[in-house]
Amino acid sequence: MASKPDVYEILGVSKEASQDEIKSAYRKLAKKYHPDANSNGEASADKFKEATMAYEILSDPQKRATYDRYGFDAFDPSKAGNGYGGFGFEDLSGFGDLFDILFGSSRTGGNRRPSGPQKGADREMRIEITLEDAVYGTKRNIEITRSEKCAKCDGSGVGEGGKVDTCSRCQGTGQHRTVQSTPFGRFESVKPCPSCRGEGKTIDKPCPECKGTGKAKAVRNINVTIPAGIEHGSRLRIQGEGEAGTRGGPAGDLYVGVLVKAHPRYKRDGVHLYFEQKIDFAQAALGAQMTIKLLDSSEYELQIPEGTQPGDMITIKGKGVPYLGSSRSGDLHVLITVTIPRKLNKHQREILQQFHGEPNTEDDKDGRRGFFDKFRRDATG
């Protein structure tokens, strides 16, 4: 028998673990690695078998005691005559069915496929939009490849001149039943019939286009409406644009994840927009009116108050982001930054030196106003 890791290590429990701890550890591993719930192929199947083997040893007090004393040799059939038990755990193919028993599926119907109409699988994709599109809304045309009802056979899977018969192997039940004998008793397994894939019916002449599946791949263009005010990371559900259903069932849905690209000048915070506007020292001191471009490229006359300080925020009501499904909008906040000249000419220096000596406090309104009048006169004269 090939060497195996310690069964306690396989389940991730200590040698003093209780039966509840052992059972809980096995449940987690079985759910993680069971082949019917995992697409990782043989690697997951091997992990599941290994965990099942460890659980079957540790869940039985007698086998656990035997393992603690002799190790895996006690379960090697080739050593059954050497004083060991020889339980024979090398072939674990039958333990996959224990998953259904341990986790609540019935022995007779745990793997049975529903025979009625089934909704198709959902699809998901992502699109990237600009901040302008997110704020004001837009429409996008996206291309998707999906399975649809085969046009040649109208989804029946039957080719021209063909017919549908009851499956001779499962007699129309869609199930294949097997009984396996293990060291722990007989276990009954019910799986989809391999001849009819659980359908309970067979087709003597399958449709050549869809090979009897009733589905065919198709490329479709779908119009997506992006609502105004949508946020980065939102998902849009488009009903009935997913994969085709089976046995006359409805199509699945398409989920479109929306990613919003960063804007070079505007920033968003919920329903509010933020924009940085640079002004010079004179505009900050004297006040100014300037034309700025809003996010939608329209122009807005921004009034800079006299005595504006670096870091002041000017709020423009209703020029932010619309509330989803509402006519209301947030605000646009304009952050003022004042640029300081690195070099001054003689006249500019004289004006600033004069400013330095003038009274300019909140308590001396007349002095402040007098300086601004002089500054304005000197700057323009």
At 243, list the tokens. Answer: 């994969």
d(CA 207, CA 155): 9
232 φ/ψ angles, rounded to the nearest 5 degrees: -60, 130
Q: Which two tokens stand for residue 151?
A: 């046009």
pLDDT on residue 357:
64
Report d(CA 81, CA 101) in Å as an integer.
Answer: 33
Check residue 141 and give its pLDDT.
Answer: 94
Looking up tokens 């994969």 gives 243
Q: What is the pTM (predicted TM-score) of this model?
A: 0.56
Helices (H), the chain: 7-11, 19-33, 41-58, 61-70, 98-102, 131-136, 281-286, 346-357, 365-380
pLDDT value at residue 3: 54
Beta strands in the chain (DSSP E): 123-129, 138-149, 164-166, 175-182, 185-192, 201-203, 215-226, 235-238, 254-260, 267-269, 272-280, 288-293, 299-304, 313-316, 332-339
SS3 245: coil
Looking at residue 170, what is its pLDDT?
86
CB atoms within 10 A of CB 170: 21
Tokens of 379: 């700057």
CA–CA distances in Å: residue 253 to residues 80, 102, 137, 148, 369: 58, 33, 22, 13, 67
Residue indicated by tokens 């294949």: 176
Give the pLDDT score at 174: 81
- CB 263, CB 133: distance < 8 Å: no
Residues with Cβ within 8 Å of residue 377, at least 6 apart in sequence: none
Map tokens 């003689």 to a residue.
346
pLDDT at 209: 84
Among 128, 124, 123, smallest CA distance to 233 is for 128
Phi, psi of 192 (to 5 degrees): -60, 140
269-273, long-range: CB < 8 A, 24+ apart: 270/321, 270/330, 271/229, 271/320, 271/321, 271/322, 271/323, 271/329, 271/330, 272/320, 272/321, 272/330, 272/331, 272/332, 272/333, 273/135, 273/319, 273/320, 273/321, 273/330, 273/331, 273/332, 273/333
* Contacts with 78 (C-beta within 8 Å, 6 or more apart), sequence order: 1, 86
Single-letter code of the amino acid located at 92: L
**Per-residue pLDDT for the chain (381 aa), expressed as one digit of tens each?**
345 578 899 899 998 999 989 989 988 888 888 766 665 656 777 788 888 888 888 888 888 888 888 776 666 555 544 444 444 444 444 444 444 444 444 334 444 445 567 888 999 999 999 999 999 999 999 999 998 888 888 877 888 888 888 888 888 888 877 776 655 456 677 788 887 877 788 888 888 888 887 888 889 999 999 999 999 999 999 999 999 887 678 889 999 999 999 999 999 999 999 999 999 988 998 999 999 999 999 999 999 999 999 999 999 999 999 999 889 999 999 999 999 888 888 888 887 787 766 655 554 444 444 444 555 555 555
The distance of Cα 58 from the centroid of its chain, to the nearest Å, equals 38
Q: In whole angstroms, what is the distance from residue 241 CA to residue 225 CA?
A: 14
pLDDT at 287: 94
- Rounded to whole angstroms, how far apart are CA atoms 289 and 293? 13
Token pair 């069964």: residue:
7
